[in-house]
Structure 1
Amino acid sequence: MRGVVIRNRFEVLELVGESGQGEVYKAVDLESGQKVAVKLQLPRLFEQSHEYKAEAEDMRAEGERSTRLSHVPGIPEVHWSGLYRDRHCIVMEFLKGPTLGEALARCRPVKATTAAAVVGQLCEIIGHVHEEGLVHRDIKPANIMLVGEQGRIHLLDLGWAAEAGRAPQRAAGTGGWMAPEQFDRSAVVLPSLDVFALGCLILHMTVMAFPYGATPSSRPHLGTPVLPPDRLAALPRELRELALAMVAWEPGDRPASVKDVLALLAPLLPAPGDPAPGRALDPDPTAFYRLPGLMC
């Protein structure tokens, strides 16, 4: 693909990643000179024609949703979405930085202040997503990027996002991060799914556990304690009540919205001029709140 020019405008430079849906390339916009990211549907191998068309439709819908949310701070801007040589393609803002998963692999568990800063920034982003009538459905460290020295959070991959208030065509998400009702294909999609995933994120960052005995390859188990006793004891006291409420089994027992989560997190968020936390992530997401002039 190196050297290929898409739409006489976007020149592919190198492959930088892959997902279940497509290949991601770094490219350059020949009109502006800016770097862009190109997500290209995987080439057809042994799939039936209808299967490959369904995958293309998923990416087309992702491009549409991403374009719809391009104005949201923390969502990559989309430059173009369409077909390239019978493969669906999305050209978007190129972001430089580690995923949250990569950052956590070097430094975990994190302090309560860091967990609050990550989830606080995500609440700001996801609040806008919910206002647009969408639910992300796949919030996890691999879909979160820390950008710039201030650790500005960006939320990636709207491939599984769905309209709120409707039953989805199929269940989707990643095990460990999925609410119990997310495994039910007939369940209506609600913002409480994202609230649950954010609660899982707090647990993952601070005590390295998923609720109800779930794993990335298995679902939560009804009747299983939220956390084993040792993990529950290790959960930071200042986050415990909120995190456990966010991962409540019943959606109605969770905070009603990410705005409510953000309000409850507010006392834990760093203030301008605060020192960096010990064992800070790199880049440090608390800098977004601590350093004057970086908040927006």
Structure 2
Amino acid sequence: MPGVDDQTEALPAPAEHVAPGAPAASLIGRTLGKFKVAELLGRGGSGEVYRAEQPQLGRSAVIKVLHRETTAARSRSANKIERFLREAKLASRLDHPYAAHVYAFGAETDGLLWIAMEHVRGATLDEIVARRGAMPPAVFGPLFARICEVVHTAHELGIVHRDIKGSNVMVIERAGQLLPKLLDFGIAKGLDGGATPGGGVDHVDPALTGQGSTLGSPHYMAPEQWEAPAGVDGRADIYALGVLAYRCVAGYLPFRGIERAGLAQAHLTMPPPPLPDHVAMPVAEAIARAMAKAREARWPDALAFGEAVRTATGDGRPAHEAVPIFDPA
């Protein structure tokens, strides 16, 4: 089945990192579906992330699991289990070359729930910008347009990501081009009303969000995510794409050095600070429209935003986009 048994995802950035070889739970060596668990990679509030191998295909995968102690407490965790499975089903619907793909998911007889995803090897946009600074237009334009393409495809399927940010975009190099992989639909929401309830700002546990609070990462959250998180739609993703574009072309986030409460006010009431002089005016205008406070004033869809950026950066289709983004190992 396309999107379920032939696909890719990396370790969600917010998870607590665990050094390779660190003591892990008894899942090491266990087989889940067609995957053999090999190594604990990270741990969140209610789940863990492992590296696994699929021997039949000789490929590596990342497996996210729900803590079994949470699963055992059925009376308290039924909603979390439902949301975990909803995440897997939503993510498996998105079959796109610029999205981290879901290979398989399942529920074991002992109550363990798991999702196997593509193991993306590359660097995050956050890492690239931190290492290299503002991205040159010839690199930024085509890369960002591709990110917008996958977001648009998700929206067409009725999926809102709700946590687009630099650490959720991996970048890989192929044939002289920089290609994105959008990660972590762990707090995705179906546009058809199948909402994943909110919880956990800057979500420590992306797969298992609690109910009744804001959802997302504060530096990227649209005004409506702060005021009425249950009613967000794809336009919140367009706002987050605007913040992401700002970071890429400026080298820093629009609202810096502000505490969480201040970030809410900034996103609700303050215009983004002017971009540096080196950013072309059409690019700055495209980003400003994406970050409009009123969602009706934003780009009509992610594809339109991406095309505007591509055009503003000079079409952005050079024969070879790659500059030395990645340092040699």
TM-score (norm 1): 0.81
Change in CA separation of 1:156 and 1:30 when aligned onto 2, cut-off 3 Å: same
How far 1:264 sits from its partner (Å)? 1.0
- 8 Å contact from structure 2 (residues 168, 182) kept in 1: yes
Change in CA separation of 1:201 and 1:81 when aligned onto 2, cut-off 3 Å: same
Pick one of 231, 256, 266 that aligns with 1:188: 231
2:292 is the alignment partner of 1:210: no
**AA at the equivalent of 1:242:** A
Change in CA separation of 1:16 and 1:187 when aligned onto 2, cut-off 3 Å: closer
Whole-angstrom distance in 2 between the partners of 1:39 and 1:81: 9
Identity of aligned residues (%): 26
Q: Please show how residues 33-112 of structure 1 align to structure 2 within 5 Å.
A: 33-44=58-69, 49-69=74-94, 71-84=95-108, 85-112=110-137
> Unaligned stretches of 5+ in structure 2?
1-26, 199-213
How far 1:19 sits from its partner (Å)? 4.4
Change in CA separation of 1:67 and 1:244 when aligned onto 2, cut-off 3 Å: same
- 8 Å contact from structure 1 (residues 167, 185) kept in 2: no
User: Which position in structure 2 is the counterpart of 1:13?
Assistant: 38
How far 1:114 sits from its partner (Å)? 2.9
Whole-angstrom distance in 2 between the partners of 1:151 and 1:215: 33
Whole-angstrom distance in 1 between the partners of 2:122 and 2:227: 35
Pick one of 30, 50, 74 that aligns with 1:4: 30
How far 1:96 sits from its partner (Å)? 1.5
How far 1:139 sits from its partner (Å)? 0.4
Change in CA separation of 1:143 and 1:20 when aligned onto 2, cut-off 3 Å: farther
Whole-angstrom distance in 2 between the partners of 1:114 and 1:103: 12
Once the two structures are superposed, residues 240-287 of structure 1 have per-residue CA deviations (whole angstroms, 9 ceiling, x without a partner) of 10011110000011111112112212322432425645xx5328xxxx
User: Which position in structure 2 is the counterpart of 1:226?
Assistant: 272
Once the two structures are superposed, residues 195-224 of structure 1 have per-residue CA deviations (whole angstroms, 9 ceiling, x without a partner) of 100000011222212359866774243432
Once the two structures are superposed, residues 129-177 of structure 1 have per-residue CA deviations (whole angstroms, 9 ceiling, x without a partner) of 0111111111011111112443321111111111226494434211111
User: Which position in structure 2 is the counterpart of 1:28?
Assistant: 53
How far 1:59 sits from its partner (Å)? 1.6
Whole-angstrom distance in 1 between the partners of 2:58 and 2:194: 42
How far 1:51 sits from its partner (Å)? 4.3
Whole-angstrom distance in 1 between the partners of 2:76 and 2:215: 17
Whole-angstrom distance in 1 between the partners of 2:103 and 2:307: 34
**AA at the equivalent of 2:102:** V
Query: SS where residue 242 of structure 1 aligns?
Result: helix
- 8 Å contact from structure 1 (residues 123, 258) kept in 2: yes
Whole-angstrom distance in 2 between the partners of 1:199 and 1:72: 21
- 8 Å contact from structure 2 (residues 160, 190) kept in 1: yes
- 8 Å contact from structure 1 (residues 21, 59) kept in 2: no
User: Which position in structure 1 is the counterpart of 2:152?
Assistant: 127
Change in CA separation of 1:133 and 1:215 when aligned onto 2, cut-off 3 Å: farther
**AA at the equivalent of 1:87:** L
Whole-angstrom distance in 2 between the partners of 1:55 and 1:254: 33
Once the two structures are superposed, residues 90-144 of structure 1 have per-residue CA deviations (whole angstroms, 9 ceiling, x without a partner) of 0122221122222222122222333323321111111110111111111011111
- 8 Å contact from structure 2 (residues 35, 53) kept in 1: yes
User: Which position in structure 1 is the counterpart of 2:297?
Assistant: 253
- 8 Å contact from structure 2 (residues 224, 232) kept in 1: no
Query: SS where residue 44 of structure 1 aligns?
Result: helix
Q: How many pairs are equivalent?
A: 277
Query: SS where residue 155 of structure 2 aligns?
Result: helix
Whole-angstrom distance in 2 between the partners of 1:122 and 1:264: 13
How far 1:79 sits from its partner (Å)? 2.3
**AA at the equivalent of 2:97:** P
267-276 or 97-106: which moved more?
A: 267-276
Query: SS where residue 121 of structure 1 aligns?
Result: helix
Whole-angstrom distance in 1 between the partners of 2:160 and 2:316: 28
Whole-angstrom distance in 2 between the partners of 1:223 and 1:254: 16
TM-score (norm 2): 0.74
- 8 Å contact from structure 1 (residues 165, 189) kept in 2: no
- 8 Å contact from structure 2 (residues 173, 322) kept in 1: no
Whole-angstrom distance in 2 between the partners of 1:72 and 1:102: 23
User: Which position in structure 1 is the counterpart of 2:210?
Assistant: none
- 8 Å contact from structure 1 (residues 115, 205) kept in 2: yes
